[in-house]
């Protein structure tokens, strides 16, 4: 059942860190603070830690499944449910990753339209973005990983810049701890899911890892670092904004940049938003790559043909989302699907895999 | 066996027929004084040194005991002699400056001796890659001399020099040089294979080969390092790279190479590591500055006035007030002027070139500011950017950087800073996809290899350079005895 | 030519035609550097923008444009009718509100527009003008333009003198924070070339309800800023001394729950800048320290009394109480709970040096 990938197309185990972290860390980071604070208020940082722990558990489950079948998601589904059902699930996943691509690109376009160019044409800008994405994917998974790598390393200086908000931070805002009920905090955790979503792409690129066993610690480290970054941002945000003001800002991270003033740059947010391009491009490419990869696994169609077709589908979908409301609806939907997928479906799938393994073993045994 | 012989003979006749059309073809008849053996000397006069024939060969052939063709190599005091029966060699050997000896009555057996005329300049000092410290030799056009320069520096038996002939018409000799125990055989095979696959009529310089054997010929980035410094070539070979020397070209090629190597000057290794690391960082900054500064100017002035610090605002607005063009035209105008100056300077003799530079720089610059065509802020920016682009130590890379600015400018005009970042992403993807002889071009930045960072953006001390670069996949990774680097003495001991 | 190439070429052309976005070329726009709002009677507001005309080798020329409007947000559009170039808000440095407007109509509606505008930075200075904002903006101050003068004036007073940290973010922060009310510095035009910082205005529901004078600013800053500095004159029986506080810190402590009592510990580290008495001896320094301590205690308590009386809380006592008490209800804070709050000020003054003269 294992899929053979040429050795020189595989990636070193530690690069898994960048792919997993990149998938989680993208557009959500610009506005997650408001969403998680909706229910949990200034206690939402606890929600982040809870989600972090949850993601570690799910990641463990994913690795367990992958090790059992030594393949990818399609192999798992075939192993558990048989060929036909696995195809249906596969199609669902294709759609899921396409939606993810659309969400990432459309949200970024939305941000540019609000903050920089009100008259930016969605279609043309997405066309260029998606062309770059296709160009990246044509370079193979190694190039996708490479962009993920640079997408994390190069914009990392941004996190140091958040310290500019410290003179305005009122850490008392975080007190008293646990002022909200447990259910509120759990709701906050659920809202957090769009932000940390995406690590499940491991299910697809697992066969591309050179030494999968070694990659485990890197994947967990990636998840851990995402949690830490979110925590860092959330705490700074809660200290910077009173709760009522936070609820008024759709992209609190961007609003926080407005206070940054350097001797050679008067306002940072414009540089930051432009920079985010480097962050969302690998994000979209991983998602689209996953989508085309599943198509290849299911129907054996060349990725060279599917990637442009899928990109065009994404382009059309992106151009048909006109209003903020539609964009929000889409990202909410993806967030919901991602939440149920990651935290409900995959654990169940693990159980099913283990049972299937036992049954098959018994069959062989008898 | 007879039929092929006959065929060969006809081939030979055809050859002679064509050759005799040329004026410098000589086919001379002699008779040995002692043995009365008659023989012919055949050679191309323009390629051979007549002094050698007259002083080193003819006296012995005429007065020595020549009975048989086999005696020729013993008679004449020339090392490079060869006896052959293969008529196919004739053309090849003659055009390499050999003299063909044939004894009458036994025309099938051929004897060649080398009487090549050495025409060429003497070894000079490097002009493109000049360095203040370090060796001052540079390659010349003659491959023999170039190989001599390399061989002298690596006097071991493991240094392999393989020779190929490329070009149906030019018959250019190309040498592949590597160290057997160190260089990864895969790299050598790739180079050899690609060179053998070249099917072209003529090659006049190593840059032809660079373009033909590059992994991606549609990339503006040079994927093989070319250098005129023998020290750089030998260092590359010792490191585990493959060098290519082309006859008639004063530039040797080294591969596989990486982007960071193209930004490192060989002088970096002559200076203390702290100093050279500083210079490398300066160069890196200069290149980034040179590519990005004009696009950023255009982007900020056209779209992001919010970014401009308020103290700078008045200077910028005041300098641009009278200018009728949008920033993009202003920038393009100046950029193109600078490119013109560079092209004009490069095409003219050195002294006139300098004058052009001064006239262009000062007169055109000042005049265009006074005429209100460009702002003086932009003039400063563009001049600085041009200056910065000259800091790249590899000439080819400098050209690439000159070119790169324009797509960035276009995107900056379209979408401001977002456009700049987008074009940066495209460039980055291109660089990630690029390979040099099958090895990743961006290494050690991507794939990230901490070990190779010792000689990338900075150059650490030789103590830290104990291993060969990972991406070369050398057979012998160690290059320095690490033990003596470790021991440390206490204070006052 | 292949079909693919044709498609690519056509797309690129279409792209170049449609992909562009609107430009704001630096020298073809009017950069608003400051904007001022005045009360124009009967719900009308008049707005004045200040934009510079930069000239080489000369200080920028200050230009103003004024328009009146009923709907406050449409003022900019109305001013646009008088302007040859598009008006942009991205490099705005200060917003001024006439005191009359700020006390009668309030400033919230106007500030909301700036909060919403992505082009406006959070470091924008807000100030109340004692008099008419338009009149103040029409003066000629400094060599770098009026707006830069105003913002430098405020910045300097925050960095080195008695003015507590203030800007758009600070204002919004204290406005949105439950159990806190905002404040703004107050400026006054003295002559055509001079502006003075002459106090701090306190807001309640977006309207000015109280103003304190510059002498009280020092003590207010001690209460409201975690770290502060400034200069204050202290009178003793031997003479008067100007004490510069280098680094002062405050510390809040909820010392008692019912009735609520907050202890504010203030630490002042200062140096003697000038002294009118004979010489500064250690015992004199002791005296100065004691006098200063007394004054801080007295003045701060007086300020708290003012706050209670006007039902405002610029220091954020309410927020502090909430952070120390689980599930605290702040809805009745200003009306009842603040009135019952006791604030104990415990200053500690340390004078470390007295200049280079022994």
Among residues A62, A91, A58, A77, the alpha carbon closest in space to that of A1 is found at A77
Q: Please give the backbone phi and psi of residue C106, each rounded to the nearest 5 degrees, phi first.
A: 85, 165
CA distances from C350 to B28, B285, C266, C337 (A): 114, 49, 11, 34
Domain boundary among C212, C230, C249: C212
Token pair 């490419």: residue: A285
Is the pLDDT score of B60 beyond 60?
Answer: yes
**pLDDT tens digits for B137-157?**
899 988 888 999 999 999 998
Q: Look at residue B23 and give its three-state secondary structure.
A: coil
Same domain, C178 and C237: no
Asked if C24 is an interface residue toward chain B (Cβ–Cβ < 8 A), one would say yes
**pLDDT tens digits for B101-123?**
888 877 778 888 888 887 777 88
CA distances from C319 to A170, A277, B174, B308, C315 (A): 11, 39, 82, 38, 9
What's the whole-number mean pLDDT along residues C133-148?
A: 86
Mean pLDDT of chain B: 85
Task: Identify the DSSP state of C105.
Answer: T
- Quote the CA–CA distance of B418 and A269 in Å, as a whole number: 12
The answer to whether the CB atoms of B302 and C55 lie below 8 A apart is no
Domain boundary among C190, C212, C234: C212
Domain boundaries, chain A: 8-354
Is the pLDDT score of C72 beyond 70?
Answer: no
Same domain, C201 and C236: no
Tokens of C111: 């500030």
Is the pLDDT score of B30 beyond 70?
Answer: yes
- Quote the CA–CA distance of A74 and B129 in Å, as a whole number: 56
Q: What is the least distance, in Å, from the CA of C133 to any CA of chain B?
A: 22
- Quote the CA–CA distance of C283 and C301 in Å, as a whole number: 27
**pLDDT tens digits for A211-223?**
888 889 999 999 9
pLDDT of residue C356: 60
ipTM: 0.93
- Contact partners, residue B13, CB within 8 Å, separation at least 6: none
**pLDDT tens digits for C172-206?**
999 998 888 999 999 998 888 888 898 899 998 88
- Quote the CA–CA distance of C53 and C30 in Å, as a whole number: 9
What's the length of chain C?
358
Q: Please give the backbone phi and psi of residue B138, each rounded to the nearest 5 degrees, phi first.
A: -140, 155
Bridge partners, residue B177, by sequence: B161, B243
The answer to whether the CB atoms of B433 and A143 lie below 8 A apart is yes
The answer to whether the CB atoms of B301 and C26 lie below 8 A apart is yes
Q: Look at residue A298 and give its three-state secondary structure.
A: helix
Q: What is the least distance, in Å, from the CA of B306 to any CA of chain C?
A: 5
**pLDDT tens digits for A295-344?**
998 888 888 999 999 999 999 999 888 888 888 888 888 888 888 888 88
Helices (H), B53-166: 58-63, 72-75, 89-94, 143-153
Among residues C93, C88, C161, the alpha carbon closest in space to that of C127 is found at C93
**Distance between the two ends of chain C, CA-based, in angstroms?**
93
pLDDT of residue B4: 43
**pLDDT tens digits for B297-347?**
999 999 998 888 887 888 888 888 888 888 999 899 888 888 888 888 777
Side-chain half-sphere exposure of B8, counting CA atoms within 13 A: 15
Q: Which class would CATH give A8-354?
A: mainly alpha
Q: What is the least distance, in Å, from the CA of A124 to any CA of chain C?
A: 6
What is the value of pTM for the model shown?
0.90
CA distances from A338 to A20, A35, A225, A229 (A): 15, 16, 20, 20
- A-B contacts at Cβ under 8 angstroms: 80
Mutate to test the interface with A, among C20, C91, C121 (most CBs of A within 10 A): C121
Q: How many Cβ atoms are within 10 Å of C22's Cβ, its own excluded?
A: 10
Sign of CA dihedral B289, B293, B296, B301: positive
| Total domains, chain C | 2
Specify the higher pLDDT residue, C73 or A97.
A97
The answer to whether the CB atoms of C19 and A121 lie below 8 A apart is yes
What's the whole-number mean pLDDT along residues B44-73?
A: 84
pLDDT confidence tier of residue C358, bands split at 50, 70 and 90: low
What's the whole-number mean pLDDT along residues B163-189?
A: 90
Is the pLDDT score of B3 beyond 60?
Answer: no
Specify the higher pLDDT residue, A177 or C149.
C149
Domain boundary among C164, C191, C212: C212
Asked if C55 is an interface residue toward chain B (Cβ–Cβ < 8 A), one would say yes
pLDDT of residue A172: 85
b/e for A133-151, b at 16 or more Cβ within 10 A?
bbbbbebbbbbbbbbbbbb
Tokens of B90: 């004739």
Is the pLDDT score of B491 beyond 80?
Answer: no
Same domain, C227 and C297: yes
- Contact partners, residue C357, CB within 8 Å, separation at least 6: none
CB B231 within 8 A of CB B266: yes
pLDDT of residue B1: 35
- Quote the CA–CA distance of B197 and B210 in Å, as a whole number: 14
Is the pLDDT score of C239 beyond 80?
Answer: no
Token pair 């669902």: residue: A92
Same domain, C230 and C326: yes
pLDDT of residue B5: 45
CA distances from C291 to C46, C248, C285, C351 (A): 48, 17, 10, 12
pLDDT confidence tier of residue C225, bands split at 50, 70 and 90: confident
Token pair 């940054």: residue: A260
**DSSP sequence for B433-462:** H-EETTEESSTTTTTT-GGGGGBTTSB--G
Strands C34-39 and C94-98, bridge-based pairing: parallel
What's the whole-number mean pLDDT along residues B55-78?
A: 83
The fraction of chain B above a pLDDT of 70, given in percent, is 96
The answer to whether the CB atoms of C91 and B326 lie below 8 A apart is no
Task: Identify the DSSP state of C210.
Answer: E
What's the whole-number mean pLDDT along residues B446-468?
A: 82
- Quote the CA–CA distance of A20 and A222 in Å, as a whole number: 6
Angle (deg, nearest 10), helices A212-240 and A16-24: 30
A chain contacts of residue C172, beta-carbon cutoff 8 Å: 245
pLDDT of residue A282: 93
Asked if A319 is an interface residue toward chain C (Cβ–Cβ < 8 A), one would say no
pLDDT of residue A1: 41
Helix (H) or strand (E) holding A229: helix A212-240
Mean pLDDT of chain C: 85
Same domain, C51 and C196: yes
pLDDT confidence tier of residue B488, bands split at 50, 70 and 90: low
- Quote the CA–CA distance of C323 and C335 in Å, as a whole number: 19
The answer to whether the CB atoms of B307 and A128 lie below 8 A apart is no
Query: Using CB atoms, which chains have 3+ pairs under 8 A with B?
Result: A, C
Q: What is the least distance, in Å, from the CA of B310 to any CA of chain C?
A: 8
What's the whole-number mean pLDDT along residues B166-191?
A: 90
The answer to whether the CB atoms of C54 and B313 lie below 8 A apart is yes
Same domain, C67 and C161: yes
The answer to whether the CB atoms of B305 and C52 lie below 8 A apart is no
Q: What is the least distance, in Å, from the CA of B400 to any CA of chain A?
A: 21
Q: Which domain holds residue C254?
A: 215-358
């Amino acid at each position: 059942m294992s899929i053979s990938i040429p050795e020189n197309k595989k990636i070193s185990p530690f690069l898994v860190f960048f792919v997993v972290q990149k998938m989680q860390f993208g557009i959500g980071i610009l506005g997650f603070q408001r969403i998680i604070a909706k229910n949990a208020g200034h206690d939402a940082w606890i929600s982040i830690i809870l989600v972090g722990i949850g993601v570690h558990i799910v990641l463990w489950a994913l690795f367990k499944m992958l090790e059992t079948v030594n393949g990818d998601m399609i192999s798992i589904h075939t192993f558990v449910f048989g060929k036909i059902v696995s195809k249906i699930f596969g199609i669902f996943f294709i759609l899921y990753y396409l939606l993810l691509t659309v969400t990432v690109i459309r949200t970024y376009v939305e941000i540019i339209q609000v903050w920089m160019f009100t008259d930016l044409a969605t279609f043309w800008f997405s066309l260029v973005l998606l062309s770059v994405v296709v160009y990246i994917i044509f370079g193979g998974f190694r190039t996708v990983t490479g962009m993920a790598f640079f997408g994390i390393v190069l914009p990392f200086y941004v996190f140091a810049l958040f310290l500019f908000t410290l003179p305005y931070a009122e850490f008392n805002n975080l007190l008293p701890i646990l002022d909200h009920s447990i259910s509120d905090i759990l709701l906050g955790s659920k809202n957090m899911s769009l932000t940390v979503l995406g690590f499940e792409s491991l299910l697809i690129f697992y066969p591309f890892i050179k030494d999968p066993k070694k990659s485990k610690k890197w994947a967990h480290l990636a998840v851990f670092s995402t949690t830490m970054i979110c925590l860092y941002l959330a705490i700074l945000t809660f200290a910077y904004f009173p709760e009522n003001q936070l609820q008024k800002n759709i992209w609190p991270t961007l609003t926080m940049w407005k206070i940054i003033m350097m001797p050679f740059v008067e306002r940072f947010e414009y540089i930051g938003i432009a920079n985010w391009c480097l962050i969302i491009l690998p994000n979209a490419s991983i998602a689209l790559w996953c989508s085309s990869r599943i198509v290849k696994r299911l129907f054996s169609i060349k990725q060279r043909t599917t990637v442009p077709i899928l990109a065009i589908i994404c382009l059309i979908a992106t151009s048909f989302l006109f209003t903020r409301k539609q964009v929000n609806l889409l990202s909410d939907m993806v967030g919901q699907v991602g939440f149920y997928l990651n935290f409900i479906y995959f654990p169940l799938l693990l159980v099913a895999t283990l049972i299937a393994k036992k049954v098959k073993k018994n069959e062989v045994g008898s | 066996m007879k039929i092929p012989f006959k065929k060969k003979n006809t081939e030979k006749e055809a050859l002679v027929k064509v050759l005799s059309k040329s004026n410098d073809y000589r086919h001379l008849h002699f008779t040995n004084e002692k043995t009365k053996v008659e023989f012919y000397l055949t050679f191309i006069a323009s390629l051979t040194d007549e002094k050698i024939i007259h002083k080193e060969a003819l006296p012995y052939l005429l007065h020595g005991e020549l009975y048989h063709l086999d005696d020729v190599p013993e008679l004449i005091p020339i090392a490079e002699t060869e006896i052959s029966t293969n008529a196919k060699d004739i053309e090849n050997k003659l055009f390499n400056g050999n003299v063909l000896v044939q004894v009458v009555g036994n025309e099938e057996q051929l004897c060649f001796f080398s009487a090549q005329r050495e025409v060429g300049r003497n070894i000079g000092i490097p002009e493109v890659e000049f360095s203040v410290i370090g060796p001052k030799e540079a390659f010349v056009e003659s491959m023999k001399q170039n190989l001599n320069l390399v061989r002298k520096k690596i006097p071991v038996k493991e240094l392999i020099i393989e020779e190929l002939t490329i070009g149906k018409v030019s018959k250019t000799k190309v040498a592949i040089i590597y160290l057997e125990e160190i260089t990864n055989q895969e790299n050598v095979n790739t180079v050899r294979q690609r060179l053998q696959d070249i099917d072209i009529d003529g090659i006049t310089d190593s840059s032809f080969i660079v373009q033909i054997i590059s992994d991606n010929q549609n990339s503006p980035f040079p994927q093989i390092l070319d250098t005129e410094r023998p020290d750089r070539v030998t260092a590359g070979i010792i490191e585990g790279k493959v060098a290519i020397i082309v006859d008639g070209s004063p530039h040797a090629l080294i591969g596989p190479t990486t982007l960071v190597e193209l930004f490192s000057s060989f002088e970096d290794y002559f200076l203390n590591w702290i100093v050279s690391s500083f210079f490398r960082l300066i160069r890196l900054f200069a290149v980034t500055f040179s590519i990005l500064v004009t696009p950023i100017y255009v982007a900020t002035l056209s779209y992001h006035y919010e970014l401009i610090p308020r103290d700078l605002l008045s200077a910028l607005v005041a300098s641009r007030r009278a200018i009728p063009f949008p920033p993009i035209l202003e920038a393009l105008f100046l950029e193109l002027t600078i490119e013109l100056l560079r092209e004009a300077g490069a095409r003219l003799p050195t002294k006139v070139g300098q004058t052009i530079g001064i006239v262009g720089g000062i007169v055109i610059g000042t005049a265009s500011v006074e005429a209100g065509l460009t702002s003086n802020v932009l003039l400063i920016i563009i001049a600085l950017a041009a200056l910065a682009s000259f800091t790249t130590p590899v000439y080819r890379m400098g050209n690439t950087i000159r070119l790169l600015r324009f797509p960035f400018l276009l995107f900056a005009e379209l979408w401001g800073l977002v456009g700049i970042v987008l074009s940066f992403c495209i460039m980055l993807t291109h660089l990630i996809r690029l390979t040099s002889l099958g090895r990743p071009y961006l290494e050690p930045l991507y794939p990230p290899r901490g070990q190779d960072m010792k000689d990338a953006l900075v150059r650490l001390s030789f103590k830290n350079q104990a291993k060969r670069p990972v991406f070369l996949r050398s057979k012998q990774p160690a290059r320095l005895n690490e033990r003596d680097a470790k021991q440390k003495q206490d204070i006052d001991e | 030519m292949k079909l693919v190439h044709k498609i690519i070429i056509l797309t690129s052309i279409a792209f170049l035609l449609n992909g562009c976005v609107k430009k704001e070329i630096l020298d073809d726009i009017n950069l608003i550097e400051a904007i001022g709002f005045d009360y124009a009677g009967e719900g009308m507001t008049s707005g004045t923008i200040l934009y510079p005309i930069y000239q080489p080798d000369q200080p920028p020329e200050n230009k103003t444009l004024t328009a009146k409007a009923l709907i406050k947000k449409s003022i900019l559009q109305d001013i646009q009718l008088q302007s040859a170039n598009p008006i942009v808000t991205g490099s705005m440095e200060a917003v001024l509100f006439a005191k009359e407007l700020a006390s009668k109509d309030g400033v919230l509606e106007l500030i909301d527009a700036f909060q919403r505008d992505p082009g406006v930075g959070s470091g924008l200075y807000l100030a109340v003008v004692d008099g008419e904002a338009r009149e103040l903006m029409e003066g000629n101050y400094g060599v770098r333009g009026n707006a830069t003068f105003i913002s430098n004036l405020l910045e300097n007073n925050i960095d080195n003198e008695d003015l507590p940290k203030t800007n758009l973010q600070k204002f919004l922060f204290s406005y949105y924070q439950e159990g806190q009310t905002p404040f703004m510095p107050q400026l006054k035009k003295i002559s055509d070339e001079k502006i003075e910082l002459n106090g701090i205005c306190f807001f309640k529901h977006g309207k000015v309800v109280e103003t304190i004078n510059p002498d009280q600013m020092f003590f207010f800053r001690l209460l409201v800023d975690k770290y502060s500095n400034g200069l204050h004159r202290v009178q003793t029986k031997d003479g008067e001394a100007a004490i510069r506080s280098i680094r002062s810190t405050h510390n809040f402590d909820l010392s008692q729950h019912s009735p609520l009592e907050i202890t504010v510990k203030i630490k002042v580290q200062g140096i003697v800048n000038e002294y009118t008495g004979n010489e500064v001896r250690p015992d004199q320094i002791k005296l100065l320290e004691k006098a200063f301590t007394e004054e801080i205690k007295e003045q701060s308590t007086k300020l708290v009394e003012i706050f209670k009386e006007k039902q405002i809380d610029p220091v954020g006592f309410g927020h502090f109480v909430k952070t120390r008490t689980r599930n605290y209800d702040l809805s009745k804070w200003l009306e009842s709970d603040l009135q019952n709050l006791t604030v104990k000020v415990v200053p500690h003054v340390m004078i470390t040096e007295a200049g280079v003269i022994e």
